[in-house]
């Protein structure tokens, strides 16, 4: 099983700031089968990024993904009020697993 470790656990930032979230895999994720999701309280997760760097339909371009192999990054260029949420990475290279999440909170 591929274990995904996200860091930091919590990111305290102000609106307008840049957020950088990390996801590290215990082994290489094949074909960059790495996705990122946003989850707000009481809601289902929403797909943001797939294939490590492709934005899902309707996702603003302030969200970007990068990385390959074992190290992946989600960047939110300028935080909007609605971006404060929990973010999960997920891999489908070997079975399917999720990271434990990073909470982006208002500073």
Partner 1 sequence: QVQLQQWGAGLLKPSETLSLTCAVYGGSFSGYYWSWIRQPPGKGLEWIGEINHSGSTNYNPSLKSRVTISVDTSKNHFSLKLSSVTAADTAVYYCARIEYDILTGYSNGAFDIWGQGTMVTVSS
What string marks each residue from 1 to 30 as x (binds partner 1 by CB under 8 A) or -? Answer: x-----------------------------
> Do 70 and 23 contact (CB within 8 A), yes or no?
no
Among residues 47, 53, 70, 103, the one that binds partner 1 under rule CB under 8 A: 47
Among residues 2, 11, 21, 45, the one that binds partner 1 under rule CB under 8 A: 45
Per CB under 8 A, does 91 bind partner 1?
A: yes
Q: Which is nearer to partner 1, 33 or 69 (CB)?
A: 33
Per CB under 8 A, does 72 bind partner 1?
A: no
How would you label 7-42 residue by residue, b for 16+ Cβ within 10 Å and e otherwise?
A: eeeebebeeeeebebbbbbeeebeebbbbbbbeeee
62, with CB counted inside 10 A (0-12, 13-18, 19+), is middle
- Chain positions contacting partner 1, by CB under 8 A: 1, 33, 35, 37, 44-47, 50-51, 54, 56, 88, 90-93, 95-101
């Amino acid at each position: 099983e591929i274990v995904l470790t996200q860091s930091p656990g919590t990111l305290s930032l102000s609106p307008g700031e840049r957020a950088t979230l990390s996801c590290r895999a215990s082994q290489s994720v094949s074909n960059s089968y790495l996705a990122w999701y946003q989850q707000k309280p009481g809601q289902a997760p929403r797909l943001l990024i797939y294939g490590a760097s492709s934005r899902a339909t309707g996702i603003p371009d302030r969200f970007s993904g990068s990385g390959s192999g074992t190290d992946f990054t989600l960047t939110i260029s300028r935080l909007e009020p609605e971006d404060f949420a929990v973010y999960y990475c997920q891999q489908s290279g070997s079975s399917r697993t999720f990271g434990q999440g990073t909470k982006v909170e208002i500073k």
